[in-house]
Amino acid sequence: MNFREIEFGSEKFRQECELRNQILRVPLGLSLDDQDLTDERDQMHFGLFDGDSLVACVIAAPLSATEVKLRQMAVAATVQGTGCGNAIIRCLEEHLLKRGFIHISLNARMSAVGFYGKLGYSTIGVEFIEVGIPHVKMQKNLGQADSV
């Protein structure tokens, strides 16, 4: 498996959008095609590849020079539960730390809180609804003893 950054608008970005659509949108009766993705040009896109095939993706949107918000985390249905989600987040954290980002936040689907919890993310605040389903904010500071 290879962890790589994905260039906005590239062929790999098209694969990323297809994976996000299948895993995050279609099950909710939504489509990524209805969304304007222009803002994502300034965000960092990452993928975990098996050869040329994209198996997991995630976006890191910079909030400041040291903070990012993770978005659109998705693992292909055929490989969920085999460690790909864990692998892409671990690679991403290492990459972000090298680029000076130390504070990570995200809005986690309640169904995925246990996944992020195992990676050292903590919940903050109360549950809220986003894209019609319950979420909670989670965060992690990189470079601390429990995260390296």
d(CA 105, CA 118): 15
Strand-pair category, 44-50 with 2-6: antiparallel
Among 3-11, 46-54, 75-83, 95-103, which window interacts with ligand COA (CB under 6 A)? 75-83
By CB under 6 A, tell whether 53 contacts ligand COA. Answer: no
Binder of ligand COA out of 81, 100, 125, 132 (CB under 6 A): 81
By CB under 6 A, tell whether 86 contacts ligand COA. Answer: yes
Q: How far is the CB of 51 from ligand COA (least distance, A)?
A: 18
Task: Please report, as residue ranges, which positions from 1 to 30 form the binding site for ligand COA (by CB under 6 A).
Answer: 23-24
**Cα–Cα distances in angstroms (integers) from residue 146 to residues 88, 100, 125, 133, in the given order:** 18, 18, 22, 30
Residue the block writes with tokens 């978005």: 71
- Which residues are CB-contacts of 53 (< 8 A; sequence separation ≥ 6)? none
Binder of ligand COA out of 2, 82, 122, 144 (CB under 6 A): 82
Token output for 63: 């909030």
Residues at the interface with ligand COA (CB under 6 A): 23-24, 73-75, 80-86, 108-109, 111-112, 114-115, 118
